Amino acid sequence: MERDSTIKIRVVNLHKSFKENHVLRGVHLEVRQGESMVVIGGSGSGKTVLIKCIIGLIRPDEGEIYVDGLEITSSNGQKMNEVRKKFGMLFQGGALFDSMRIWENVGFGLRQQNRLNEEEIKRIVSEKLRLVGLKDIEDLMPAELSGGMKKRVSLARAIAMEPEILLYDEPTTGIDPIMADAINSLIVQMREKLNVTSIAITHDMKSAYKIADRIAMLFQGKIIEVGTTEEIKNSPNPIVQQFIQGKSEGPIKIL
Amino acid sequence: MRFVEEAGRVMILFAQTLGWTFRPPMQGREILKQMEEVGVRSFPVVIITAAFTGMVLALQSFTGFKRFNAESMVGTVVALSMTRELGPVLTGLMVAGRVGSAMAAELGTMRVTEQIDALYTLATNPIKYLIVPRFLAAMIMLPILAIFADVIGMLGGYLVSVQILGTNPTLYIRRTWDYLEFNDLCSGLLKAVCFGMIVATISCYQGFSTQGGAEGVGRATTKAVVISSLTILISNYFITAILF
């Protein structure tokens, strides 16, 4: 597939510690415009911290993150808010606002901007919900939905503001395999229909193979390998091989 | 050491909240919702507390004053105690228990389920969207509740004195009216405003800094109530000392 090769997101030498726990130890990562990057790694390898640093929810101790060439770790307040408008994020548990109806959730960002009236927002909300394969649930509360539906709604909320970059935090965790496959298809569709750049973090290799243009493996706070799906599958690195094959024996020690 | 650090963080949050309070756009919808939650729904609890406090105050001071034949001063004692002290303090404590716990639990749950992170990603500042409305609602509604508490407390004292203890109603009202100064009411209401800020800031802080799932939410809720109540009682002394 022919893609624009300009760099959309560049992460340089990123470090982050929580107390004595040195989670990120110099992460380098480049994501191209329109590309779907999947970061794989074990639980506690720092995947979530990495993605939260990129969207500015966690401030790294050291290192730089460039979005469209603009360094964001040093920006704060208003400037950071502007940068965040380029992003949409799908949280692991959906993170829907449980005091609000579905349409208020999906239309939250639009309502906060105060530019459109209620009618127009509801129309956009229905359109986004249709895009993720849902309809006629606008007036329900999040507690009335199943886990898979919540993820879809959350995805609809993430794309409601038409972001340029989508971040997925473990999109298939905690839902059944069929629903997981449906979510994977949606992620692929999002890239094709909306032409967004995306970063997904997961430890579900089936999902990774399905949605990735390129895969990066995070291990002990560093990216140890980046490559296309084929390259990763054929990687000579025993750590990568152990992870993608899901073996308990190998260089990765289980404590 | 931890205490100093936490106190510092609460003060930072307080400053940030103040900063966001005056930045448009106003979250009108949220503020009204919180005013209902803090004010209207706390009303019954505050009324019952105030009524019985006023009543017991009349009973107790009557017993005391009877020993040196000053029963007629009961009205004055009830009025001064309610307006200056018990109205605002009891309202503050009841609101800390009822509303502070709810704020900490709600925001804490939002924290552990990443809803607060989600707000950031939707380009909305959670301090502005979640804390400012609670802060304003508590600051506005607490003095209003305190006024009701004052009036109901005095009414309770009046009923007990007149109906049970047989005090002359005209005398009771005159004693209340003659010795009550406008300043008494104002100092009480000023306290109530401070208590509102204390409850909202501390409870929201506890909610925002929640860690570790359901257990963490429980801990945050308890801390919100205990710390706001203690802070109310301690600051009450200092506000009183300064206001005189």
- Please say whether the beta carbons of B187 and B143 come within 8 A: no
Is some CB atom of chain B closer than 8 A to the CB atom of A92?
yes
Which of B29, B112, B121, B127 to mutate against chain A (most A CBs within 10 Å)? Answer: B121
The pLDDT of residue B86 is: 93
CB distance A55–B115 less than 8 Å? no
Gap between the Cα atoms of A203 and A40, Å rounded: 5
Element (H, E) at B174: helix B169-179
The pLDDT of residue A255 is: 61
On chain A, the residues whose CB falls within 8 A of the CB of B33 are none
Q: For residue B129, what is the nearest residue in chain A, using CA coordinates? A: A112
Q: Which of A237, A228, A239, A242 is nearest to A3 (CA)?
A: A228
Nearest chain A CA: its distance from B145 CA (Å)? 26
- In-domain check, residue A166: no
Question: Which member of B106, B113, B121 has the closest CB to residue A93?
Answer: B113
Gap between the Cα atoms of B68 and A85, Å rounded: 74
Average pLDDT in the B208-216 region? 90
Phi, psi for residue A65 in degrees, rounded to 5? -130, 125
- In-domain check, residue A179: no
- In-domain check, residue A168: no
The pLDDT of residue A2 is: 42
- In-domain check, residue A216: yes
Nearest chain B CA: its distance from A73 CA (Å)? 15
Q: For residue B115, what is the nearest residue in chain A, using CA coordinates? A: A95
The pLDDT of residue A177 is: 87
The pLDDT of residue B140 is: 94
Domain count within chain A: 1
Q: Of all residues in chain B, what percent carry a pLDDT higher than 90?
A: 56
pLDDT digits (tens, 9 = 90+) for B142-166: 999 999 999 999 999 999 988 888 8
Instruction: List the domain boundaries for chain B.
Output: 26-243
Residues of chain A with pLDDT under 70: 1-5, 254-255
Tokens of residue A29, six digits:
């990562």
Cβ neighbors of B63 (< 8 A, separation 6 or more) are none
Query: Containing domain of residue A60, as a range?
Result: 1-84+204-255
Cβ neighbors of A119 (< 8 A, separation 6 or more) are none
The pLDDT of residue A247 is: 82
Q: What is the ipTM of this complex?
A: 0.86
The pLDDT of residue A167 is: 93
- In-domain check, residue A143: no
- In-domain check, residue A19: yes
pLDDT digits (tens, 9 = 90+) for B102-127: 999 999 999 999 999 999 888 888 88
On chain B, the residues whose CB falls within 8 A of the CB of A109 are 122-124
Write the CATH number for A227: 3.40.50.300
The pLDDT of residue B228 is: 94
Nearest chain A CA: its distance from B33 CA (Å)? 12
The pLDDT of residue A246 is: 85
Gap between the Cα atoms of B107 and B129, Å rounded: 11
* pLDDT band of B195, cuts 50, 70, 90: very high
Alpha-carbon distances, residue A203 vs A36, A46, A152, A172, A179 (angstroms): 16, 12, 20, 9, 17
pLDDT digits (tens, 9 = 90+) for B21-78: 887 777 788 899 999 989 899 999 999 999 999 999 999 999 888 888 888 888 888 8
3-state SS, residue A51? helix
- In-domain check, residue A115: no
Average pLDDT in the B196-200 region? 95
Is some CB atom of chain B closer than 8 A to the CB atom of A93?
yes
Residue that is written with structure tokens 């909305």 in the block: B124
